């Protein structure tokens, strides 16, 4: 009997050692660095920014917005950067703002900072000198839908859906409406905003919210195909064209033509502008400098 008790005692001792090891491992795990909210990768002129918080449906918390902004602006003026692709891990591209940050406990100043930062990121996407492509495979709601609408190009899968459901939780999607209302017809935007009802990828394409709808297995291929085509063009020519497009879209017709006409002349004065014309005349591929240099005054 004493032996039996001793055996049980040894078993208890061994269990205690295992438990200690597990607890030690748990402490080590808790002390490891958390995964970044966004992941930035770059190769061959293409920068990929991945929303990396699928457990929280890639909510655009203040920290997520700040991380996204940092990933966009880092080395933004490098000649090696030609295009940016924004995608996400998990079945939700982005569920919008983190509602836990929008309670009364956070206070008005914090709320102001959240929406100011969000507006800064959305306008930054449209103001940067390289095209920004949204690569969407899943749900994009509220500020997540705003993010898609703010990108220059959006390639999405057939299963993707888009919605502005804030009205259903008592917070009308007024800031998402800025981008969405400039991407789709007014009455489509208003129905989305008043009802919160999701629209399908094909309806999003029909109304101009996205550029292309593809099968899930072709999403990466189609998105990279567009990105690689952008990389074949002259960086300063693309930058000038993007900035001009955004500017003239905010103007009346006559002012827009005046702006665009002047920019066409400025474009011709660029070294790459003249190189492209010479290459066409000489029936050869252009050799871009990718520099903002003038061929003539």
pLDDT at 185 over 50: yes
Mean pLDDT taken over the chain: 91
Q: Render pLDDT for 196-220 as a digit per residue (tens, 0 to 9).
A: 999 999 999 999 999 999 999 999 9
Distance CA 49, CA 41 (A): 7
Q: Render pLDDT for 15-24 as a digit per residue (tens, 0 to 9).
A: 444 444 444 4
Q: For 75-90, what is the mean pLDDT?
A: 96
Distance CA 162, CA 55 (A): 19
Q: Render pLDDT for 215-235 as a digit per residue (tens, 0 to 9).
A: 999 999 999 999 999 999 999
pLDDT at 31: 60
Q: For 38-49, what is the mean pLDDT?
A: 98
Q: How many CB atoms lie within 10 A of CB 252?
A: 9
Looking at residue 46, the DSSP 8-state letter turns out to be E
pLDDT at 5: 34
Q: Residue 231: name the closest of 24, 84, 34 by CA.
A: 84
pLDDT at 33: 76
Distance CA 92, CA 55 (A): 10
Least confident piece of the model among 7-16, 71-80, 102-111: 7-16
Cross-sheet strand order for the sheet of 92-94: 92-94, 139-141, 161-163, 199-200
For the chain, domain boundaries: 38-231, 233-282
Residue burial 170-187, b: 16+ Cβ < 10 Å; e: rest:
eeebebbbbbbbebbeee
- Residue % of the chain over a pLDDT of 70: 90
Residues 6+ apart with CB under 8 A from 45: 80, 81, 82, 83, 231
Domain 38-231 in CATH 3.90.226.10? The answer is: yes
Least confident piece of the model among 4-18, 27-41, 84-98, 158-172: 4-18
- Superfamily of domain 233-282 in CATH is Lyase 2-enoyl-coa Hydratase, Chain  A, domain 2 (1.10.12.10)
Contact assessment for residue 76 and residue 122, using Cβ atoms and an 8 Å cutoff: no
Structure tokens at 10: 């040894």
Q: What is the DSSP string of 80-140?
A: T--EEEEEESSSEEE--S-GGGGSTTT-HHHHHHHHHHHHHHHHHHHHSSS-EEEEE-SEE
Looking at residue 104, the DSSP 8-state letter turns out to be T
pLDDT at 7 over 70: no
Cross-sheet strand order for the sheet of 212-214: 38-43, 46-51, 83-88, 132-136, 153-157, 212-214
Q: Residue 132: name the closest of 71, 69, 83, 205 by CA.
A: 83
Q: Global pTM?
A: 0.88
Distance CA 183, CA 177 (A): 9
Residue corresponding to tokens 């520099």: 291
Q: Render pLDDT for 57-75 as a digit per residue (tens, 0 to 9).
A: 999 999 999 999 999 999 9
pLDDT at 23: 43
């Amino acid at each position: 009997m004493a032996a039996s008790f001793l055996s049980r005692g040894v078993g208890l001792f061994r269990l205690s050692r295992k438990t200690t090891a597990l607890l030690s491992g748990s402490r080590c795990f808790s002390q490891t660095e958390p995964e970044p909210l966004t992941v930035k990768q770059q190769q061959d002129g293409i920068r990929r920014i991945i929303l990396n918080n699928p457990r929280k449906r890639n909510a655009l918390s203040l920290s997520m917005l700040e991380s996204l902004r940092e990933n966009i602006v880092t080395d933004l003026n490098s000649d090696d950067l030609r295009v940016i692709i924004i995608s996400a891990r998990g079945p939700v591209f982005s569920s919008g703002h983190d509602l836990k940050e929008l309670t009364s406990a956070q206070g008005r100043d914090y709320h102001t900072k959240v929406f100011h930062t969000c507006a800064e990121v959305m306008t930054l996407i449209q103001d940067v000198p390289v095209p920004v492509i949204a690569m969407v495979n899943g749900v994009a709601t509220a500020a997540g839908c705003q993010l898609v609408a703010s990108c220059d190009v959006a390639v999405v899968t057939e299963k993707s859906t888009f919605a502005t459901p804030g009205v259903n939780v008592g917070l009308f999607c007024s800031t998402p409406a800025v981008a969405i209302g400039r991407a789709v017809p007014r009455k489509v935007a208003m129905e989305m905003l008043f009802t919160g009802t999701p629209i399908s990828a094909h309806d999003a394409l029909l109304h101009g919210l996205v550029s292309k709808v593809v099968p899930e297995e072709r999403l990466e291929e189609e998105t990279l195909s567009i990105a690689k085509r952008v990389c074949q063009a002259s960086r300063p020519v693309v930058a000038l064209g993007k900035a001009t497009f955004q500017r003239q879209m905010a103007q009346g017709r006559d002012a827009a033509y005046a702006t665009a006409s002047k920019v066409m002349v400025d474009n011709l004065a660029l070294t790459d502008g003249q190189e492209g014309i010479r290459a066409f005349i000489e029936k050869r591929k252009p050799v871009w400098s990718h520099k903002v240099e003038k061929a003539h005054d």
